[in-house]
């Protein structure tokens, strides 16, 4: 029997403060998942660091771990939790997004996708069953269904065909996941499966697809294929249109989003879970989030600034180091620059969702949104 319970604790409009129980611990939502694609956060941040900065869920990628070190290796090491020494929930992305991002290297057929490995060019096949097997070997808490992330813009006709195929693939994912969870040598027999809503920027396709996949009674529902180049107004419109059609008693996940402002807007439309490489990627280039907006630590004005990145921040970086020192580390090309800044940005995102949860509990989310939705995305 799967150990999953999702409970809405409080609502303000469509925004939800909720709680989810999993076999690897509880998740308080809204929450931002920290992205460690190849079972590590880029920027030399360890799982021990993640424990200290309030990370609830770590996200790793099926395709990358299948290519290296190999999912069979991870299984022999006792699964991803043991391998990377992390005792909280892990979500694994299905590899579907790589179908999109490695566009030049793939061929999509009904049975699945043929890839050329981005590492050595060897031919790889991944379909719904293969993705489920790999994720079962990784033994993550939550497995994502294998889908096609359609590029934007795409024609209505192509998007419709792709949605239909993604639905057929989802049925295969569910059947295979049920089989894998029943095997005696499966590490995590309580692995959860989330379905992914697609349909490009076409409201009608999005709604139709969500209605169809809602019938499959999965453990959670994701909105995929957004934040791939469409205007943010389109993204907000799609979330508003499709969210009411997801099952009321299931968690909602907006994949690959986004800026602090995007997260606040999506929470107001009913989303629980988020992930994005933005905080870690931006940090590695010195672009840092604060409660007053975004700063570029490389600017000359910080050369002699002895204040922390954000005076309101209680992360390990802000407790100890000045802007001047961090700027110096970047100029000297020291690896520590990235480590300190990635730690700060992830702490900022983790704390942002904590502040959102507090606002929802206090019934002040609308005020919070009004104050911060634009401010946090502003460069200062």
Active-site positions read: 93, 275
- CA separation for the pair 232, 227 (Å, rounded): 8
| Residue 280 CB neighbour total at 10 angstroms | 23
Partnered with residue 92 across adjacent β-strands are 60, 143
CA–CA dist 41, 203 (Å, integer): 35
Q: How many CA atoms lie within 13 A of 79 on its CB side?
A: 20
Please give the sequence-ordered ranges of beta strands (E in DSSP) within the chain, or none if there are none. 5-12, 15-22, 25-29, 31-35, 58-61, 90-93, 106-108, 113-116, 123-126, 142-144, 192-197, 220-223, 251-254, 273-275, 287-290, 293-296
What b-and-e string marks burial along 334-364, b requiring 16 or more CB atoms within 10 Å of the CB? eeebbbbbbbbbbbbbbbbbbebbebbeeee
Rg over CA atoms, the chain: 20
Q: Which residue has the tokens 């699945």?
A: 112
Paired sense of beta strands 31-35 and 113-116, if any: unpaired
- Helix, coil or strand: residue 127: coil
Q: How far apart are CA 376 and CA 289, in angstroms?
A: 7
Distance between CA 105 and CA 97 in Å, rounded?
Answer: 13
Interior/surface letters 133-150, b for 16+ CB within 10 angstroms, e for the rest:
bbbbbbbbbbbbbbbbbb
φ/ψ of residue 197, rounded to 5: -80, 130
């Amino acid at each position: 029997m799967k150990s999953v319970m999702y409970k809405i604790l409080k609502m303000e409009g469509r925004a939800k403060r909720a709680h989810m129980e999993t076999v690897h611990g509880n998740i308080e939502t809204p929450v931002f998942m920290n992205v460690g694609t190849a079972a590590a956060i880029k920027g030399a941040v360890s799982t021990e660091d993640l424990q200290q900065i309030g990370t609830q869920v770590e996200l790793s990628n099926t395709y990358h771990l299948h290519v290296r070190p190999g999912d069979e290796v991870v299984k022999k090491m006792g699964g991803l939790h043991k391998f990377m020494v992390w005792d909280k929930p892990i979500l694994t992305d299905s590899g579907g997004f790589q179908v999109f991002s490695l566009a030049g290297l793939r061929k999509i057929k009904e049975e699945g996708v043929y890839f050329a490995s981005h590492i050595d060019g060897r031919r790889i096949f991944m379909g719904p069953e293969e993705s489920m097997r790999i994720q079962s070997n990784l033994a993550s808490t939550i497995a994502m269904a294998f889908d096609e992330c359609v590029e934007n813009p795409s024609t209505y006709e192509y998007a419709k065909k792709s949605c239909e195929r993604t639905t057929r693939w989802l049925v295969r994912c569910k059947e295979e996941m049920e089989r894998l969870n029943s095997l005696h040598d499966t590490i995590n027999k309580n692995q959860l499966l989330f379905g992914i809503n697609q349909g490009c920027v076409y409201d009608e396709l999005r709604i139709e697809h969500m209605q169809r996949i809602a019938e499959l009674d999965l453990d959670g529902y994701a909105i995929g294929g957004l934040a791939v180049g469409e205007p943010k107004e389109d993204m907000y419109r799609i979330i508003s249109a499709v969210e009411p059609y997801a099952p009321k008693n299931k968690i909602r996940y907006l994949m690959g989003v986004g800026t602090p402002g995007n997260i606040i807007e999506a929470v107001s439309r009913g989303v629980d879970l988020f992930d994005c490489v933005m905080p870690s990627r931006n940090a590695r280039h010195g672009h840092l989030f604060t409660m007053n907006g975004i700063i570029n630590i490389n600017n000359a004005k910080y050369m002699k600034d002895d204040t922390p990145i954000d005076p309101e921040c209680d992360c390990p970086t802000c407790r100890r180091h000045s802007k001047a020192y961090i700027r110096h580390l970047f100029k000297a090309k020291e690896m520590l620059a990235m480590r300190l800044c990635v730690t700060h940005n992830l702490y900022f995102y983790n704390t942002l969702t904590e502040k959102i949860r507090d606002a929802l509990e206090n019934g002040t989310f609308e005020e919070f949104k009004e104050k911060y939705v634009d401010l946090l995305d502003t460069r200062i």
